[in-house]
């Protein structure tokens, strides 16, 4: 065991100004997280409505009067209440499945602001999206183009299409969340794009409207975006020579957030450079589409969990908590770093802990090697859990998924009930 003296609690958790300490207790806006955890039980996802709005507004301020549609990459957090907030703020949505389409429609999102991405769209998903009237399909391969043409022709409709090209750009992020490299499964190789566009223009039921790329997630540098943009603009030049005119350019690739000591890139820093490049190349008239997910929700949420046991072994000290890899998969899957904060810090004498869950896997950890002062029974917050947290949760070890709560000022709303044992076995049956 190692003990050292540290500041009992920071004034504001890293990168999340709507989570702060008030009289020694961590709050989301005006609501005590200790109160929430004790009242509603843990594990519990807690989001801040104001944090969602602030993040969205940082895009709007960066956009100013430019023609830009922000399509929230809803895979990051698709709770209906979250979608509704972004719909209210005027956001569009980037969807990747028929299920996500159904969620946007259920939340009252505008279908005319939906772009449909994903490498494996099925015919029924295409049909549902056509019938809903989505803005465009981001088509990722020639076979997909042909299927979409067949589906829309059959329905007597026209599918607006943007080809997702793979610009072969290194986003310098975790290999699992890099999407714009040649070896990734996404998009059409940029060299093959002109031929694919010519095919698209000739197919029935297809109207070519744009070009799209997505280079990866948790990006903290401008250069990969500008490289991708440069390649897309060269392609647009080439397409113009072939008589193919585009209306929009979708520059996908998610801005990073601060988990630990990253320096995130503000939307304004990126967009000023993008607008300048569009202007310089004579494409200021093109509508720009963005697909941010993580940067809109990541630091708007925490996962509350209660310390069950403190287990000291010869090699390690374990804080065994009631949240696990099934609730927050990012550490197990990407060795991702999430901050850990006791909700009511009580001591400055810390011990080096691995924070682990009850699941029967050694990969079941939430944080490793952290200096923490912990007592059994206390609630801790796993930070930056608003993106790719609940949405990636599962039921491994027959663990019901957590409840989700949205704080709004001094109030809170349960926006998803905790799963029950009945939920877990719904749809299962035994042989007669
Ligand atoms: N649009 C498309 C087509 C995407 O593939 C993604 C993310 C986004 C938008 C949103 O990107 P963001 O702004 O969130 O970076 N589960 C991983 C992240 C996977 C991201 C995949 N694509 C994680 O927990 O880090």
pLDDT in tens, 115-173: 999 999 999 999 999 999 999 999 999 999 999 999 999 999 999 999 999 988 877 67
| pLDDT over 90, % of the chain | 91
Which atom of ligand 1 has the smallest separation from the CA of 218? Answer: 15
* pLDDT tens-place string over residues 201-251: 999 999 999 999 999 999 999 999 999 999 999 999 999 999 999 999 999
Task: State residue 5's pLDDT score.
Answer: 36
The preferred substitution site among 75, 292, 336, 338 for testing ligand 1, maximizing ligand atoms within 8 Å of CB, is: 75
Q: Which two tokens mark 222?
A: 């401008």
Instruction: Tell me the average pLDDT across 314-328.
Output: 97
Q: Contact 356/308 with Cβ under 8 angstroms?
A: no
Question: Exposed/middle/buried for 202, CB within 10 Å: 0-12, 13-18, 19+?
Answer: exposed
At residue 300, the pLDDT reads 98
CB distance 303 to 328 below 8 Å: yes
pLDDT of 48 > 80? The answer is: yes
Looking at residue 178, its pLDDT comes to: 64
Question: What is the average pLDDT across 290-313?
Answer: 98
In this structure, which residue's CA is closest to atom 11 in ligand 1? 254
Question: Best substitution site from 93, 259, 294, 332 to test ligand 1's pocket, by max atoms within 8 Å of Cβ?
Answer: 294
Pocket of ligand 1 (CB under 6 A): 73, 75-76, 94, 117, 177, 179, 214, 217-218, 252, 254, 291-295, 330, 334, 387-388
Question: Which stretch of DSSP H or E encloses residue 333?
Answer: helix 330-334
Query: Is residue 425 predicted with pLDDT exceeding 90?
Result: yes
Whole-angstrom Cα distance, residue 66 to residue 270? Answer: 14
**What value does the mean pLDDT take over residues 82-111?**
98
Q: How far is ligand 1, taken at its centre, from the CA of residue 76, in Å?
A: 7
Provide the pLDDT confidence category of residue 388 given band limits of 50, 70 and 90: very high
Helix, strand, or coil here: 305? strand
Model confidence at 10, in pLDDT bands (50, 70, 90)?
low
Would you state the pLDDT for residue 3?
37
State both tokens at 399: 């663990």
Query: Helix, strand, or coil here: 20?
Result: strand
- CA-closest residue to ligand 1 atom 24: 388
Could you report the per-residue pLDDT of 180-191, keeping only the tens digit for each? 667 677 889 999
pLDDT of residue 4: 38
Which ligand 1 atom sits nearest the alpha carbon of residue 333?
24
What is the residue-averaged pLDDT of the chain?
94
251 forms beta bridges with 213
From the CB of residue 377, how many other CB atoms can be counted at a distance below 10 Å?
9
Of 202, 197, 168, 199, whose CA–CA distance to 184 is shortest? 168
For atom 5 of ligand 1, the residue with the nearest CA is 214
Question: Does residue 43 have a cis bond before it (omega within 30 degrees)?
Answer: yes
Ligand 1 atom nearest the C-alpha of 298 is 14
Average of pLDDT values for 399-406?
98
Distance CA(95)–CA(208), nearest Å, equals: 19
Delineate the domains of the chain, giving CATH numbers in brackets. Answer: 19-48+298-425 (2.40.37.10), 117-292 (3.20.20.10)
Question: What is the rounded distance in angstroms from the CA atom of residue 414 to the CA atom of residue 143?
Answer: 43
pLDDT at 59: 98
Phi, psi of 56 (to 5 degrees): -65, -40
Residue 420 has pLDDT above 70, yes or no: yes
Predicted local distance difference test score (pLDDT) of residue 2? 35
| Residue 98 structure tokens | 């028929």
Taking the C-alpha atoms of residue 356 and residue 310, their distance in angstroms, rounded to an integer, is: 10
- The confidence score (pLDDT) of residue 223 equals 94
| Catalytic (active-site) positions | 360
Q: Under a CB-based contact definition with an 8 Å cutoff, are residues 82 and 113 in contact?
A: no
Substitution candidate for ligand 1 out of 72, 121, 291 with most atoms within 8 A of CB: 291
């Amino acid at each position: 065991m190692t003990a050292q003296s540290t500041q009992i609690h920071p004034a504001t958790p890293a990168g999340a100004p709507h989570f702060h300490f008030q009289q020694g207790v961590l709050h989301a806006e005006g609501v005590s997280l200790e109160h929430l955890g004790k009242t509603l039980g843990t594990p519990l996802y807690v989001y801040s409505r104001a944090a969602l709005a602030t993040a969205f507004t940082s895009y709007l301020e960066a956009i100013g009067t430019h023609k830009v549609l922000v399509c929230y990459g809803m895979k990051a957090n698709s709770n209906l209440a979250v979608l509704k907030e972004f719909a209210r703020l005027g956001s569009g949505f980037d969807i990747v499945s028929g299920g996500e389409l159904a969620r946007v429609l259920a939340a009252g999102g505008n279908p005319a602001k939906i772009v449909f991405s994903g490498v494996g769209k099925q015919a029924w998903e295409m049909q549902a999206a056509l019938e809903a009237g989505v803005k465009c399909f981001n088509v990722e391969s020639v076979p997909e183009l042909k299927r979409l043409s067949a589906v829309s022709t059959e329905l007597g409709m026209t599918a607006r299409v943007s080809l997702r090209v793979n610009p072969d750009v290194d986003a310098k992020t975790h290999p699992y969340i890099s999407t714009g490299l040649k070896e990734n499964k996404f998009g059409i190789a940029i060299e093959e794009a002109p031929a694919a566009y010519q095919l698209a223009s000739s197919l029935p039921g297809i109207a070519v409207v744009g070009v799209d790329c997505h280079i990866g997630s948790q990006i903290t540098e401008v250069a990969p975006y500008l490289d991708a943009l440069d390649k897309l603009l060269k392609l647009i030049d080439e397409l113009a020579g072939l008589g193919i005119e585009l209306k929009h350019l979708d520059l996908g690739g998610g801005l990073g957030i601060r988990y630990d000591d990253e320096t995130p890139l503000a939307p304004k820093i990126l967009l000023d450079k993008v607008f300048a490049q569009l202007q310089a190349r004579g494409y200021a008239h093109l509508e720009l589409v963005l697909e941010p997910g993580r940067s809109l929700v990541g630091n708007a949420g925490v996962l509350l969990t209660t310390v069950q046991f403190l287990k000291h072994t010869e090699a390690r000290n374990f804080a065994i908590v009631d949240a696990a890899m099934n609730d927050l998969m990012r550490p197990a899957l990407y060795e991702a770093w999430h901050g850990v904060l006791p909700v009511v810090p009580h001591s400055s004498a810390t011990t080096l802990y691995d924070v682990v869950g009850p699941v029967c896997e050694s990969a079941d950890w939430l944080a490793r090697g952290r200096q923490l002062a912990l007592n059994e029974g206390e609630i801790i917050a796993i930070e930056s859990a608003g993106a790719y947290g609940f949405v990636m949760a599962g039921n491994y070890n027959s663990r019901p998924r957590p409840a989700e709560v949205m704080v709004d000022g001094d109030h809170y709303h349960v926006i998803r009930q905790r799963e029950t044992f009945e939920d877990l076995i719904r749809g299962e049956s035994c042989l007669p």
